[in-house]
Amino acid sequence: MGLFDILNISASALSAERQRAEVTSANLANAETTHTDAGGPYVRKEVVFSAANSSPFMNVVNHVGRFGQAPGGSVELTQVVDDTTPPVMHYEPGNPDADKNGFVAYPAINPVTEMVDLMGSVRAYQMNASAVNAAKQMIQQSIDILKSS
């Protein structure tokens, strides 16, 4: 594995974790949304990661003479799926979104769980940013060694 492979892997992870944080933030923002354009309460979203098929920096990889797919370990967010957990029903007969029995459907979103997921996403993003910085330092040191030779 080369130094540019490290950059490619970390770049793919940075992109995936940013998207994961956006989805989690949307879940938190809509935790009390009882009515959407589609009708019914907001449905919690979940992300699905998989192995990446292409590199976000393929031109950099091509520049150093390598062609093909992203290096092993690259990741991408392949889809955002709806959570299948049924909505939580609260008895609120005065609410305009209440059904005929007076129950309002709220999204099945636990703010604590979402915050833990968001913190995990932020921490993974930070670790990958650190890996990019370490790879940049190694590349710079390699250039410095070649200059001094």
Consecutive H or E run containing 12: helix 3-29
Cβ(33)–Cβ(41) under 8 Å? yes
| Token pair in block for residue 93 | 């007969």
Question: For 54-91, what is each residue's pLDDT tens digit?
Answer: 544 544 444 444 445 556 778 888 999 999 999 999 99
Residue 100 amino acid letter: K
CB 28 within 8 A of CB 115: yes
Say what percent of the chain tops pLDDT 70.
86
Decide if 29 contacts 115 (C-beta within 8 A).
no
Range of the domain at 104: 3-148
| More confident: 65 or 135 | 135
Please tell me the total count of domains within the chain.
Answer: 1
Average pLDDT over residues 123-140: 92
| Strand, coil or helix: 77 | strand
When pLDDT is averaged across residues 99-121 and rounded to a whole number, the result is 96
pLDDT of residue 70: 54
Residues 6+ apart with CB under 8 A from 102: 91, 92, 93
Average pLDDT value for the chain: 86
In the chain, what percentage of residues exceed pLDDT 90?
66
Write the CA distances from 94 to 61, 62, 103, integer angstroms. Answer: 61, 63, 9
Q: What is the pTM of this model?
A: 0.79
Q: Give the pLDDT score at 5.
A: 83
Task: Give per-residue pLDDT as tens, 23-38.
Answer: 999 999 999 999 999 8
Tokens encoding 92:
């609120």
